A and B are shown apart, each in its own frame.
Chain A
């Protein structure tokens, strides 16, 4: 036994090296993707060697290489995919280690894009080329918002294919407990801010759940992450989102959080808080807690969900056993039925630097993307699989077979979804397949009549934003959560926050935003 441990250790090392050598073929996607092509050329003479494309997507990772969706696309376009199978964390690490995929994930932020562009990681791609090889998709973009073409620009160069998110056109829906509304004498959702205040007061004081205890509130807030829809609907009725750029009366760009509208909204919230109309624990609540409080009838109103979330909650609503009433944006000082919205503009789809020089590959990818976004057959194959096998067409809309809905794993086995197709539910041409009749009706019912508030510039990569926004957000988060519950003078605290915000880089951000906005307006003329 004397030498036992040494032998074990040595063999461990040896084993690891052996195992390593046998499995290293798939380790280095991206960096040496082009080398492998040469070897194969001698065998296939009549057919051109497939172009190798590495995919860095972190969405809907397929269960295995060679899944049906991959095979279908590979044959149709004579390409060969390298599935990098990344998570958000490993993607960033691979990038930092200079393993750059051809097609980037769709989950990135505009700050990522600005950084990648300046570090020479992503490819410049001309807008003309996109319009040439993706004509239908480009027309779809134009139909939604031509500003989409501006958000891929970093330092004057275009760094990606613009993307829009169709659901982003809609807003967050004020939703009420119908049983409670009835109890306090409302037959429909409140329409104005005054009515809303009345509802909150009665939800708190009139024992709407009838249990004889004063243990209910009208609403709580998403205070754990203040910048995500904290008291959405109140701010909306004042016509402002505190975390977005907006147009000021003088034609310059301003930040919602420092406007007078926001100040008035926060005064209202503070007044309600001090009158005990808002769940005082809103400061630490997130969406999970909002949902459980709603389910258990601790609160009777929620405003942090969009129509498609609410559509998914219909079953839970049935189990909860009380009717749900969907309202419209509250008419308040802004005078319109405003609701908060993320807006349809998204960070563009980016490509690895190596595509800049590889015309053949770049054009091939663009052609394929055009089909993925706008060609019915390609779209259906890559998002739903095979008709009659994994889905059926019902009234022109694909519907998954039951087993695929019950076991989402089967969808991963097929390789369908956002992994190969970055345009799922992101182009007007394919929107028709994402909307069964009942969902469309639900959307119409909830969204009609609402006007949205969204960011004036969308995810435009401003340099000052990259530099200051993280600190400014922290400042703003802290301020808003404090001022809402203050016993002091809201007016005074607001003005001192505004001054501090402008000093800490906010002014630079406003200046750059105004400049970019004016340039864009010029370009439109």
Chain B
């Protein structure tokens, strides 16, 4: 990474008094092919991402379809007021959201890294390939389809999970109907669904590691564990750090589909999150504005976290997002 300082060759020759503009112009001219590549990309972002950006205004307006976004009246932060001051449930919902998605990051983020490393250690190559293609299967089913199977697996009376726990003398646990276990069940089932799919990017990173590094480590007498610690993990660190930063951006997205399909009134207390709350509000109240306001709030929190971690990660010498 240290070698990557591609300082333009002649930059030292530029006279200090040369105007900034001419300096910029020369740099642009030198990078013209790169800019030519970037141009259509920027046009695309301008049209498809920045074009509709004015819609953020809806978060601050009493949106009326007849008047449209621009002419709808301002509402004096009514949605934010409603969320933060009026809504009795919001503090609890915000707390649930942060806890569930925090647990998802804490346990769900390392899971595919660990699985990728384990797969990497497997010696039987046909089994390794097969395991890769099987472990990502649940990713392809939506939660609507999977929820019935999850209920079956975690059932206190007929589920195999509780059957196995019984071997250890543990009484049946009502994973999805008991407020003490519901969040935990969300995290576990989410790992089950996504872990195999998540390994793919790390397996790609693993495949890029220079084999000579392992040879050198073996020469030095490093065992497998030491090779993993000193060669494999450092080589994966760039991809791990960017994946981590970007995952923090979704801290207020606790996974609508999963929770909506797995929760029930019995666990509202611990399982109700921002998205499920807005969904229930929106259905009754046709509130495009509230939805937009909540989205805006979530994203401001997300981007703040991303910029913060990005700063820390860069301080630690890794490539960040920005």
**Are B285 and A92 within 8 A (Cβ)?**
no
For B249-273 the 0/1 string (1 means CB < 8 A from A) is: 0000000000000001110110010
**Are B89 and A478 within 8 A (Cβ)?**
no
- The reply to whether the CB of B148 lies closer than 8 angstroms to some CB of chain A is yes
Question: A281-B156, A469-B284 in contact; A98/B65 too (CB < 8 A)?
Answer: yes
**Are B265 and A481 within 8 A (Cβ)?**
yes
Question: A9-B40, A119-B66 in contact; A478/B177 too (CB < 8 A)?
Answer: no
- The reply to whether the CB of B214 lies closer than 8 angstroms to some CB of chain A is no
Number of A-B residue pairs at CB separation under 8 A? 93
- The reply to whether the CB of B174 lies closer than 8 angstroms to some CB of chain A is yes
- The reply to whether the CB of A480 lies closer than 8 angstroms to some CB of chain B is yes
**Are B65 and A97 within 8 A (Cβ)?**
yes
Which residue from A121, A280, A283, A471 sits with its C-beta under 8 Å from B66? A121
Count residues of chain B with CB under 8 A from any CB of chain A. 32
**Are A471 and B89 within 8 A (Cβ)?**
yes
- Which residues of chain B have C-beta atoms less than 8 A from A473's C-beta? 280
Query: A505: shortest Cβ distance to chain B, in Å?
Result: 10
- The reply to whether the CB of B25 lies closer than 8 angstroms to some CB of chain A is no
- Which residues of chain A have C-beta atoms less than 8 A from B280's C-beta? 470, 473-474
For A218-249 the 0/1 string (1 means CB < 8 A from B) is: 00000111100000000000000000000000
**Are B174 and A281 within 8 A (Cβ)?**
yes
Query: B281: shortest Cβ distance to chain A, in Å?
Result: 5
- Which residues of chain B have C-beta atoms less than 8 A from A92's C-beta? 286
Question: A96-B288, A469-B284 in contact; A478/B66 too (CB < 8 A)?
Answer: no
**Are B156 and A470 within 8 A (Cβ)?**
no
- Which residues of chain B have C-beta atoms less than 8 A from A111's C-beta? 284-286
**Are A226 and B284 within 8 A (Cβ)?**
no
**Are A284 and B285 within 8 A (Cβ)?**
no
For A80-102 the 0/1 string (1 means CB < 8 A from B) is: 00000000000010011110100
**Are A470 and B264 within 8 A (Cβ)?**
no
What is the chain B residue whose CB lies nearest that of A95?
B65
**Are B264 and A121 within 8 A (Cβ)?**
no
What is the chain B residue whose CB lies nearest that of A468?
B284
- The reply to whether the CB of B176 lies closer than 8 angstroms to some CB of chain A is yes
Question: A284-B176, A289-B151 in contact; A482/B266 too (CB < 8 A)?
Answer: yes
What is the chain A residue whose CB lies nearest that of B65?
A98
Which residue from B36, B177, B286, B288 sits with its C-beta under 8 Å from A284? B177
**Are B286 and A112 within 8 A (Cβ)?**
yes
Question: A480-B265, A481-B265, A482-B266 in contact; A281/B177 too (CB < 8 A)?
Answer: yes
Complex CA distance for A223 and B264, rounded to whole angstroms: 7
**Are A119 and B269 within 8 A (Cβ)?**
no
- The reply to whether the CB of B221 lies closer than 8 angstroms to some CB of chain A is no
Count residues of chain A with CB under 8 A from any CB of chain B. 43
What is the chain A residue whose CB lies nearest that of B287?
A115
- The reply to whether the CB of B15 lies closer than 8 angstroms to some CB of chain A is no
The listed residue with most A CB atoms (<10 A of its CB), out of B148, B266, B285, is: B266
Question: A284-B151, A478-B269 in contact; A466/B66 too (CB < 8 A)?
Answer: no
Question: A471-B88, A474-B272, A504-B88 in contact; A481/B66 too (CB < 8 A)?
Answer: no
For A263-295 the 0/1 string (1 means CB < 8 A from B) is: 000000000000000001101100011000000
Query: B49: shortest Cβ distance to chain A, in Å?
Result: 16
Query: B167: shortest Cβ distance to chain A, in Å?
Result: 20
- The reply to whether the CB of B51 lies closer than 8 angstroms to some CB of chain A is no
- The reply to whether the CB of B85 lies closer than 8 angstroms to some CB of chain A is no
Question: A6-B36, A115-B286, A119-B64 in contact; A226/B148 too (CB < 8 A)?
Answer: no
**Are B64 and A115 within 8 A (Cβ)?**
no
Which parts of B270-304 form the interface with A (CB within 8 Å)?
A: 272, 280-281, 283-286, 288
Which residue from A100, A226, A280, A353 sits with its C-beta under 8 Å from B174? A280
- The reply to whether the CB of B157 lies closer than 8 angstroms to some CB of chain A is yes
**Are A477 and B265 within 8 A (Cβ)?**
yes
Which parts of B22-61 form the interface with A (CB within 8 Å)?
A: 36-37, 40
**Are B65 and A96 within 8 A (Cβ)?**
yes
- The reply to whether the CB of A396 lies closer than 8 angstroms to some CB of chain B is no
- Which residues of chain B have C-beta atoms less than 8 A from A477's C-beta? 265, 268
- Which residues of chain A have C-beta atoms less than 8 A from B266's C-beta? 223, 283-284, 478, 481-482, 485
Question: A98-B66, A111-B285, A478-B265 in contact; A281/B155 too (CB < 8 A)?
Answer: yes
Question: A6-B36, A97-B65, A98-B66 in contact; A280/B156 too (CB < 8 A)?
Answer: yes
- Which residues of chain A have C-beta atoms less than 8 A from B285's C-beta? 111, 115, 466, 470
**Are A120 and B281 within 8 A (Cβ)?**
no
Which parts of B90-141 form the interface with A (CB within 8 Å)?
A: none
**Are A6 and B40 within 8 A (Cβ)?**
yes
**Are B64 and A120 within 8 A (Cβ)?**
yes
- Which residues of chain A have C-beta atoms less than 8 A from B151's C-beta? 284, 289
What is the chain B residue whose CB lies nearest that of A94?
B65
What is the chain A residue whose CB lies nearest that of B155?
A281
The listed residue with most B CB atoms (<10 A of its CB), out of A96, A224, A485, is: A224
- Which residues of chain A have C-beta atoms less than 8 A from B283's C-beta? 470
- The reply to whether the CB of B208 lies closer than 8 angstroms to some CB of chain A is no
- Which residues of chain A have C-beta atoms less than 8 A from B64's C-beta? 119-120
**Are B148 and A288 within 8 A (Cβ)?**
yes
- The reply to whether the CB of A132 lies closer than 8 angstroms to some CB of chain B is no
Complex CA distance for A478 and B271, rounded to whole angstroms: 11
Which residue from B40, B65, B268 sits with its C-beta under 8 Å from A119? B65
- The reply to whether the CB of B169 lies closer than 8 angstroms to some CB of chain A is no
Complex CA distance for A445 and B266, rounded to whole angstroms: 37
For A4-23 the 0/1 string (1 means CB < 8 A from B) is: 01100110000000000000
**Are B284 and A470 within 8 A (Cβ)?**
yes
Q: A5-B37, A223-B266 are in contact. List 14 more A-B contacts (CB 8 A).
A: A6-B37, A6-B40, A95-B65, A109-B284, A112-B286, A120-B64, A121-B66, A215-B157, A226-B265, A280-B156, A280-B174, A283-B264, A470-B285, A480-B265
Q: List 28 A-B contacts (CB under 8 A).
A: A6-B37, A6-B40, A96-B288, A100-B65, A116-B286, A119-B65, A119-B66, A223-B177, A223-B265, A225-B264, A226-B265, A280-B156, A280-B157, A281-B174, A283-B264, A283-B266, A284-B176, A284-B264, A288-B148, A289-B148, A289-B151, A470-B280, A470-B283, A470-B284, A471-B88, A477-B265, A477-B268, A481-B266
